[in-house]
Chain A
Amino acid sequence: MMPLPKLSRMVVANTLRSRRHFILSAFGIVIGIATFVLFLASTEQVGAVLEKIFPVDQVQVVAPRASLAGLDVTKKLDDSIVKTILARPEVKSALPRMALSFPAAGRGDFEGNDLKFEVGGFADGIDPSFIKEDHDPRTAELFKDWDSDPSDTQHRVACQAAPPSPDGEIIQSPRPRPRNYKPPEPKAVPPGVPGMPVVAPEPEYFNPCPDPDRYYCDDTDHMCHHRVPIVMSPTMIELYNGQFAKSHGLPVADADFVKFVTQRGGLSAMRFSIGLGSTTIAGSNTSIRARPRRVEGVLVGLSQKAMPIGMTVPIQYIERWNREYLGAEAATTYSSIIVTLKDKTQIAPFAQWLQDTQDLRLEDSLGEKFATVLFVVRLVLVLISLIIIGISAINIAHNFFMQVTERRRELGLLRAIGATQRDVQLVVLGEAGLIGLSGGVLGVGFGILMAKGVDYMSNHYLPRFPYKPETWFHFSWWIWTGGLVCAAGFAVLGGFLPARRASKMEPAQALTQN
Chain B
Amino acid sequence: MRLRDVTKAYGTGAAKAQVLRGVSFDIDKGELIALVGQSGSGKSTLLNIIGGLDRPDTGEVEVMGTDTQKASDATLAELRNRKMGFVFQAFNLLDHLNVLQNVTLPASFSHHTKHAEVDDRGREALRKVGLSDFAHRKPGELSGGQKQRVAIARALFGSPELLLCDEPTGNLDSDTGREVIDFFRELNAKDGVTLLIVTHERRISSVAKRVIAMRDGMLVETTDEALAVVGNGGPHA
Contacts and interface: CB of A to CB of B under 8 A. Distances in A.
* A pairs with B: yes
Interface of A: 2-3, 5-7, 9-10, 13-14, 17, 409-410, 412-423, 506-508, 511-512
Nearest to B45: A508
B92 A418 contact: no
Contacts of A421: 73
Interface in B32-59: 44-45, 48, 51, 53-54
9 contacts: A2-B109, A3-B111, A7-B108, A17-B96, A417-B81, A417-B109, A418-B110, A423-B109, A512-B44
Nearest to A407: B94
B77 interface: yes
Interface string B49-88: 0010110000000000000000001100110111000101
A426 to B, nearest CB: 11
A126 B44 CA distance: 90
A409 B78 contact: no
Top 9 closest A-B pairs, CB basis? A418-B81, A17-B96, A418-B109, A508-B48, A508-B54, A417-B106, A420-B77, A508-B53, A507-B53
Interface in B141-178: 154, 158
A299 B34 CA distance: 100
A417 B105 contact: yes
A13 B96 contact: yes
B97 interface: yes
Contacts of B158: 418
B6 to A, nearest CB: 14
Contacts of B108: 2, 6-7, 9-10, 419
A347 B190 CA distance: 87
B187 interface: no
A17 B101 CA distance: 14
Given A6-B107, A9-B108, A508-B45, A418 B94 contact: no
Contacts of A409: 90, 92
Interface residues of B, number: 31
Contacts of B109: 2, 6, 414, 417-420, 423
A422 B53 CA distance: 15
A5 B116 CA distance: 13
Contacts of B73: 420-422
A251 B123 CA distance: 76
A417 B53 contact: no
**Dominant SS among interface residues on chain B:** helix
**Dominant SS among interface residues on chain A:** helix
Q: Could you say which of A2, A9, A507, A508 has the most chain B C-beta atoms within 10 Å of its C-beta?
A: A508
Contacts of A7: 108
Contact of A417 (B45, B80, B96, B97): B80
A312 B107 CA distance: 74
Nearest to A14: B96
A167 to B, nearest CB: 92
A339 B188 CA distance: 89
Contacts of A507: 48, 53-54
A418 B78 contact: yes
B77 A419 contact: yes
B54 A418 contact: no
Q: Could you say which of A13, A423, A511 has the most chain B C-beta atoms within 10 Å of its C-beta?
A: A511
B61 to A, nearest CB: 14
Contacts of B51: 416
A205 B154 CA distance: 100
Nearest to B44: A512
B37 to A, nearest CB: 16
A265 B31 CA distance: 100
Interface in B13-47: 44-45
Given A410-B94, A508-B45, A418 B111 contact: no
Contact of B92 (A2, A413, A423): A413
A418 B106 contact: yes
Contact of A415 (B53, B94, B97, B115): B53
Nearest to A427: B108
Contacts of A508: 44-45, 48, 53-54
Contact of A420 (B45, B74, B94, B115): B74
Nearest to B85: A417
Nearest to A1: B74
A409 B93 CA distance: 10
Given A6-B108, A9-B108, A417-B86, 20 more contacts: A3-B111, A13-B101, A413-B92, A414-B109, A416-B80, A417-B80, A417-B105, A418-B81, A418-B82, A418-B106, A418-B109, A419-B108, A423-B77, A506-B54, A507-B48, A507-B54, A508-B48, A511-B88, A511-B92, A512-B44
A7 B88 CA distance: 24
Contact of B86 (A5, A410, A416, A419): A416
A14 B105 CA distance: 13
Contacts of B78: 418
B109 to A, nearest CB: 4
Contacts of A417: 80-81, 86, 105-106, 109, 154
A420 B44 CA distance: 21
A443 to B, nearest CB: 26
Contacts of A415: 53, 77, 80
A72 B90 CA distance: 100
A511 to B, nearest CB: 6
Contacts of B97: 13
A346 to B, nearest CB: 55
A10 B154 CA distance: 16
Contacts of A414: 105, 109
A508 B90 CA distance: 13
A420 B74 CA distance: 6
A421 B90 CA distance: 23
A4 to B, nearest CB: 11
Contacts of A9: 108
Nearest to B90: A409
A512 B43 CA distance: 13
Contacts of B77: 415, 418-420, 423
A511 B111 CA distance: 25
B171 to A, nearest CB: 13
A262 to B, nearest CB: 60
Contacts of A511: 53, 88, 92
A507 to B, nearest CB: 4
B101 to A, nearest CB: 8
A17 B9 CA distance: 38
A5 B107 CA distance: 12
Contacts of B111: 3
A412 B86 CA distance: 12
A329 to B, nearest CB: 85
B196 to A, nearest CB: 14
A419 B78 CA distance: 8
A211 B111 CA distance: 78
A423 to B, nearest CB: 6
